[in-house]
Amino acid sequence: MAVYLHEEDLPEGVLAPGPVAVDTETMGLITPRDRLCLVQISDGRGDEHLVRFAPDSRFDAPNLKAVLADPDRVKLYHFARFDLAAIEHYLGVTAAPVFCTKIASKLTRTYTDRHGLKDLVRELLGKELSKQQQSSDWGAPELSEAQREYAASDVRYLHAMHTILIERLAREHRTEAAQAAFDYLPHRARLDLAGWADKDIFSHES
């Protein structure tokens, strides 16, 4: 198992076919303001690839975009809504089809209100994640080893959790509901980018 750091694009041919786990690191939580710094991606076979973008990046990244936009590759996320918005805003592609472990957790783990990645990894896989680097400076000239490990760990376990959560969704007869939610996520991300991030347009409230 290794963590690879690449500048501005993913090398061609480093990922095996099939679903890929995806995550992003940005300078903050307001997508149009807080630039995309890093995209993490893994094919689930033991290596994680980190693609870093400079402050003046043009976000060309043709190899990475091709993987993210591939309609035959499922993209596994935890809280896909945020990552989809960041990828669409900066890279200009819709990184779908989607499976979101956070949504799958909310539909199946109704016995708890703890649906963070750390909580899921602990319960489903019996492993511990460190979140110490979550709020660190992802735009720094150099990424520390701790930052690289944190970023890699965000995609390291998504394939294994995907397998478990698919089974749980089927067991609870919520596969169809989950898929409908996943299919909607790219549209929800676009609404966020268009200014409706804090509005529930389905709510009765104005």
The residues assigned a catalytic role are 23, 25, 83, 150, 154
Exposed (0-12), middle (13-18) or buried (19+): which is 143, by Cβ within 10 Å? buried
CA atoms within 13 A on the CB side of 22: 30
Q: Are 49 and 14 in contact (CB under 8 A)?
A: yes
- The Cα–Cα gap between 21 and 50 comes to 12
CA-closest candidate to residue 5, choices 139, 145, 110: 145
Cα 186 to the center of its chain, rounded Å: 12
